[in-house]
């Protein structure tokens, strides 16, 4: 049965499996574990004593002599409750030619049989270390013709300083025992060309690496976490429990939809029957089951059920996690009603704007003149009116008089604006202007200019260009809201995002930036500021072109990392101390109008420990377009292609290698 359900998480309950030995009576092995509360079993499909070279002839070696019939379970049972486990004795990189032959033959046979059974996944033995060329080669060949089944490569999550923690894998480790197991995985997946059906099953042992080292795994394609019984401690009542660090790791697995698999022998003599233990308060143990690992399962279920319920914002965003979307281009495209409605639901954003307008009004008009002075406020890019409403609410709250111009280029939004003004009785206060702000001739100067043209990267929706064109009708001492904004960038491991971009099998998708709710990513170090824009900007030699060279230092205890691209954020100052943004360290709580932006690398870059990562980033401006260019120059260089010269008119969208183009 499921581990349990959290509030707002009913469709995403976590499940737990158990690793078993080979059993010729598969129905019994399955039913006994399912009846104990486990949801699936991870088991060998072939007798571990089988060796192809021991067959009487090579012809017999292509037959599966020790595999049970596929009829012993229903197709639904095979696909829903069984994960195949490739024989652990195989060694495809052995110097022993006979062992190498037997290993390769058996590997192909077992995966072929698992595919025939329509299993969802098959567990591969751990590589013998970074030197696993033949093993990876054979797996890569198999992947090319595999159906939808996933291959889980078993990788130990070891603490390199604790040799004893690796005893369980001594048969698989050669001279590379001290090597970082992430290196094993990285070597293997590179040889398999980042294949989308190759994933990780992490072996969690009693000791864990540093927090930074653990964090990088969450950007990798982890499908299962195998928790060994010898990783458990014993609580005061004699029941199994995990250390605080292991518990935190389990929370991470749950949040990233990683399936849990229990493995090993019973290490705790738990009394059967009454289980009135605080740690197992939510246990579904009924006192009738005698599975030796049941107490471990109950504890895993307890850890899952005690997690905080998903917030309303998390429930809203869950469907967008790691889903690539093209950034909005509201200057080029007229937004649809559904898009407006989604953004208008973000009450946090508009409350911040209301705070900013309130402070600007109070600074602009002293209390003694509040009844005699009317402040002229222009909302440029008014959409369907949320900023108009926020501004009028600010005027009411501060007791200031306001005259509002609502400037909007989208003729469809203008229809809604007229209806809103009539419905709210704002006819004497609000003037609607159907025009591009850059082309409008204002009848008077504004005291305050308000806009919400910010994109996920701050300037990527052409806020600088639009506000530069609109500031001509702002008084010399007028106030712009926002007054400034800065973009930030951060290197990330994002295996899923990279594979999704790669699946398009063309270059142009690697030359595009995407808006995405980042979830299965590893943020490798703190973000750094890139470009800053300030408004109004009255300098005579201003340019919106920018260039920045950034140097990132990844913490030394992280180990080697794979950089698939860069996450972009922004932080904006609306007015004085009122800000909003999505940069992780200063993000506005509970605001969902913006997801991060993702700049992919065509070729992921492996950064060794202690090596700096250097990124160069450009914001380029032409007469009819604005675009970004980016490339990595250290520790190695990423591809950087000279752009194709082509005329680009209004309404075009063109992207170059390592570039995103935004039409102005």
Write the CB contacts of 288 (distance below 8 Å, at least 6 apart in sequence).
Answer: none
Closest listed residue to residue 401, CA positions, set 363, 439, 373: 373
Distances (CA, A) of 354 to 99, 389, 396, 602: 73, 9, 11, 42
Pairing mode, strands 474-481 and 16-19:
unpaired
Write the CB contacts of 194 (distance below 8 Å, at least 6 apart in sequence).
Answer: 495, 498, 499, 502, 604
Q: Look up 452 and say whether it is catalytic.
A: yes
The binding site for S-adenosyl-L-methionine comprises 340, 349-350, 408, 436-437
- Give the angle 144-148-149 at the CA atoms, nearest 5°: 90
- List, in sequence order, every beta strand (DSSP E) within 501-560: 514-516, 522-523, 528-534, 546-552
The binding site comprises 340, 349-350, 408, 436-437
Distance between CA atoms of residues 85 and 17, nearest Å: 13
Tokens 């109070």 map to which residue? 362
Closest listed residue to residue 335, CA positions, set 387, 386, 384, 407: 384
- Is there a contact between 617 and 550 (Cβ–Cβ < 8 Å)? yes
Angle between helices 411-424 and 386-398 (to 10 degrees): 30
- List, in sequence order, every beta strand (DSSP E) within 349-483: 374-380, 401-408, 430-434, 446-450, 474-481
Of the candidates 19, 220, 452, 465, the residue annotated as catalytic is 452
Cα dihedral 599→498→517→6 (10° resolution): -160
Q: Look up 312 and say whether it is catalytic.
A: no
- Is there a contact between 630 and 657 (Cβ–Cβ < 8 Å)? no
Of the candidates 19, 104, 110, 461, the residue annotated as catalytic is 461
Catalytic residue list = 452, 461
């Amino acid at each position: 049965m499921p581990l349990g359900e959290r509030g707002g998480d009913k469709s995403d309950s976590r499940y737990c499996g158990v690793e078993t030995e080979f059993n010729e009576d598969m129905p019994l092995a399955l039913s006994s574990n399912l009846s104990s509360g486990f949801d699936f079993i991870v088991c060998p499909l072939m007798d571990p004593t089988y060796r192809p070279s021991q067959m009487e002839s090579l012809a017999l070696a292509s037959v599966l002599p020790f595999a049970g019939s596929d009829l012993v379970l229903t197709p639904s049972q095979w696909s829903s409750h069984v994960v195949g486990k490739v024989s652990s004795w195989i060694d495809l990189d052995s110097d022993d030619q006979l062992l190498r032959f037997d290993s390769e033959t058996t590997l192909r046979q077992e995966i072929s049989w698992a595919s025939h059974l329509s299993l969802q996944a098959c567990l591969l033995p751990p590589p013998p270390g970074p030197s696993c060329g033949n093993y990876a080669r054979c797996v890569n060949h198999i992947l090319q013709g595999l159906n939808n089944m996933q291959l889980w490569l078993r990788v130990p999550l070891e603490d390199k300083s604790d040799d004893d923690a690796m005893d369980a894998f001594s048969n698989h480790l050669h001279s590379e025992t001290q090597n970082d197991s992430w290196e094993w995985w990285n070597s293997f997946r590179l040889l398999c060309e980042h294949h989308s059906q190759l994933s990780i099953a992490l072996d969690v042992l009693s000791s864990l690496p540093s927090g930074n080292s653990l964090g990088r795994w969450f950007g990798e394609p982890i499908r299962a976490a195998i928790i060994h019984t010898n990783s458990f401690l014993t609580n005061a009542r004699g029941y199994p429990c995990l250390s605080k660090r292991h518990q935190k790791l389990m929370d991470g697995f749950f949040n990233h939809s990683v399936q849990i698999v229990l493995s090993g022998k019973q290490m705790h003599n738990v009394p059967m029957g009454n289980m009135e233990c605080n740690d197992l308060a939510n246990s579904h143990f009924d006192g009738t089951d005698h599975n030796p690992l049941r107490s471990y399962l109950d504890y895993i279920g307890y850890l899952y059920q005690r997690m905080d319920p998903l917030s309303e914002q998390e429930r809203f965003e869950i469907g967008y996690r790691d889903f690539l979307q093209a950034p909005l281009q509201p200057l080029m495209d007229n937004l649809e009603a559904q898009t407006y409605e989604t953004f208008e639901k973000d009450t946090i954003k508009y409350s911040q704007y209301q705070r900013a307008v309130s402070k600007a009004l109070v600074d602009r008009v002293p209390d003694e003149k509040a009844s005699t002075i009317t402040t002229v406020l222009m909302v440029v890019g008014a959409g369907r009116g949320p900023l108009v409403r926020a501004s009028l609410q600010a005027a009411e709250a501060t007791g200031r008089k306001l005259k509002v111009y609502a400037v909007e280029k989208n003729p469809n939004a203008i229809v809604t604006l007229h209806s809103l003004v009539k419905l709210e009785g704002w006819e004497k206060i609000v003037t609607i202007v159907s025009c591009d702000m850059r082309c409008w001739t204002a009848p008077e100067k504004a005291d305050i200019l308000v806009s919400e043209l910010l994109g996920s990267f701050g300037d990527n929706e052409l806020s600088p260009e639009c506000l530069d064109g609109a500031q001509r009708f702002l008084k010399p001492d007028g106030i712009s809201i926002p007054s400034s904004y800065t973009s930030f960038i951060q290197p990330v491991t994002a295996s899923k995002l990279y594979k999704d971009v790669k699946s398009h099998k063309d270059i142009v998708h690697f030359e595009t930036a995407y808006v995405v709710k980042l979830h299965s990513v590893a943020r490798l170090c703190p973000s750094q500021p890139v470009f800053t824009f300030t408004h109004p900007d009255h300098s005579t030699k201003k340019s919106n072109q920018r260039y920045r060279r950034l140097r990132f230092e990844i913490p030394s205890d992280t180990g080697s990392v794979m950089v698939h691209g860069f996450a972009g954020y922004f932080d904006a100052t609306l007015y004085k101390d009122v800000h909003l943004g999505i940069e992780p360290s200063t993000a506005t709580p509970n605001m969902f109008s913006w997801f991060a932006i993702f700049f992919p690398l065509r070729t992921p870059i492996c950064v060794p420990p202690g090596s700096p990562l250097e990124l160069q980033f450009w914001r380029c401006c032409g007469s009819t377009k604005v675009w970004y260019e980016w490339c990595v120059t250290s520790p190695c260089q990423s591809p950087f292609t000279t752009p194709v010269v082509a005329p680009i008119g209004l309404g075009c969208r063109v992207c170059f290698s390592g570039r995103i183009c935004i039409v102005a």
